[in-house]
Structure 1
């Protein structure tokens, strides 16, 4: 009887494993559940920002100001600034003020999008590819660049990111990621930005 029970248990586990593999696409990783708000860390700058995972938006967006197009090697590029004073998410250890630090980035233009806004004229935005870390894992997705200074979250992660990276959202809770990403302090970010500009 005990042998029969063991065999049935093993068959049940094998069937469950096969069903799980079938649901995730022949061995693809199981969907990861994140909260409706999580920390993200932008690659290269190690800048930590709050991100809202928004299933109502297709394309992700990043807070950026002074967005300017230019040409490099006959390709369209944009330069843009991320002022840390608009969202004081970077941990500070000294007497540095967030208002004193502005990150300047340059990226190739992936495309432009026309955003329809209720009660306001439509707005054309540049879209760029950016790498970032969330829940201890690096990702790349498309971000539209727009001034989010009046919003609570400088980063919005949309459905394209969730679909491509197999992410589910727990709308009842935030900051539930089991792993963290390494980030720099405000002072380290400022020093790295100063060194980068000087190069």
Structure 2
């Protein structure tokens, strides 16, 4: 399985409460679920939530800690990894976010906060290829996503797959990382299909 650890946005738009709970464990189908802690898989993931969802999570259990406009959930996902919720003012609008931070790294919450601010303060709405792929994974139901098993070549086993529709009326699995630009466009919601890619210096 490909191990992910950079800070990254995994869902475009504001997640509903139902979507939030689904995104909390979007790697639940991984083959090694009961064999590893998967801290590196979840660490760095973040997405926007509603104010109501943010407040619900604040009230459901006493927070582990509160630092200014952020708080950490008392229950750890795995090891020292837990949910941290952020209330941030961006372009004059109060917004709420959830991120997975490894609290063994004292700088992880501040790094997450700064990464969210940097990403959301872009003057033009953009999506990188990686953000497109993460959104596709996050928004695809479990019946249409999975992991490469022993039917796949050894080097790619454990990598994420999604179901595509072929011709005529034939569904097939393809590695998420191998989707073409046209396949990505077809899998994205209409409102996200034509966002410009960010300029790379």
Q: TM-score, normalised by structure 2?
A: 0.26
Which structure is richer in relative contact order (CA contacts within 8 A, separation 6 or more)? 1
Which structure shows the higher helix fraction?
2
Q: Which has the higher strand share?
A: 1
- Relative to the length of structure 1, the TM-score reads 0.27
Larger radius of gyration: 1
